[in-house]
Amino acid sequence: MKHVKAVIVLTLMLLVCGIASAEIDRSNGLPVEEKMMMTGSSPAASVCEIGSQNCLALWDISHGVYLNYYPTGDFSQFVALLAGEGYPVAVTDKGILDPSVDLSSFDILIISTLTTDDSPYSAAEVAAIKSFVDNGGKLLILAENTDCPNGNINPVSQAFGVTTGVSYLSPLDLYITNLASHPSFSGVSTVYLRAGGELSPTGTIAWTPDKYPAIDAVEESRVIVIGDSNIFDNRHISTADNTLFAKNLWSKVFCPPVGSPEFPTAFVPVTFIIGFVSAVLLIRRAGKL
């Protein structure tokens, strides 16, 4: 009977640890919905159940949006695609320095020339983004051709050694097959750009047929710079392998799956160990009585 009690105690301890592990979010221990509310901004799409992946992106539109290139407008299919894969996207029109926006609550920051139409990023904003990436955050920069205000995002891209909008890539309908061996191109044979812009050759992973840099990956792929913002807009996200490329950026580069189940904090494995040792001692003691 005492042996049975000891086994029951051990089972209960392991069950409690399992519940604790399931309820702790590995991004600051907060539910995704609460983190969305912390930004003071509205989600671009419905928040999905994302389980342990929990890869939350923030799209900054605080510097002005060109025409209807909102995450809920001409980029809505891109945002919906990510949400459908379990990767929610929040939007802020207040800026990353606003007190209501806690950048550290996010895994990815998205900026685009088409959603930075009115003003450039300030030195303070650049410093905040640099710190975000240096501390493990991911950054997606969508640039454009020379007719667009790439100068507004270049303060950010140049902080990572990349200049956007160097020249106008041609032809306007550009199918890129010269791709480096990179996780984002897994299963991808062709990427389509519409009226894109050349990037400086820093960590280039995709070139035009004329060998001009079109996509760069720097900071150990924590920063991806694409020379065309239209690549993921509603008109072109389904062209060539753009959809798969978008999925790969999240599933294989920004939010790769963990190799094995992980514990969110040191408390959980320590509790397992203490519980197991205690149960063993109880069983041994019961055997001596």
Residue that is written with structure tokens 């900071």 in the block: 219
Q: Percentage of the chain surpassing pLDDT 70? A: 71
Tell me, what amino acid is at 248? Answer: N
pTM of the model: 0.76
What are φ and ψ of residue 269, in 5° steps?
A: -65, -35
Tokens 């040191």, located at residue: 266
- Please check whether the domain covering 41-254 is classified as CATH 3.40.50.880: yes
Position 247 confidence tier, pLDDT thresholds 50, 70, 90? very high
Q: Which segments within 3-46 are labelled E, that is strand?
A: none
pLDDT digits (tens, 9 = 90+) for 77-122: 999 999 999 999 999 999 999 999 999 999 999 999 999 999 999 9
* pLDDT tens, position by position, 135-153: 999 999 999 999 999 999 9
What are the sequence ranges of the domains in the chain? 41-254
CA R_g for the chain: 23
* Cα(29)–Cα(263) distance, integer angstroms: 12
The per-residue pLDDT of the chain, averaged, comes to 82
Instruction: For residue range 185-219, list pLDDT tens digits in order.
Output: 999 999 999 999 999 999 999 999 999 999 999 99
Q: Which helix (H) or strand (E) holds 243?
A: helix 242-248
Q: For residues 17 and 268, is the Cβ–Cβ distance under 8 A?
A: yes
Determine the pLDDT at residue 177: 98
Written as one letter, the residue type at 172 is L
How far apart (Å, rounded) are the C-alpha atoms in residues 78 and 261?
29
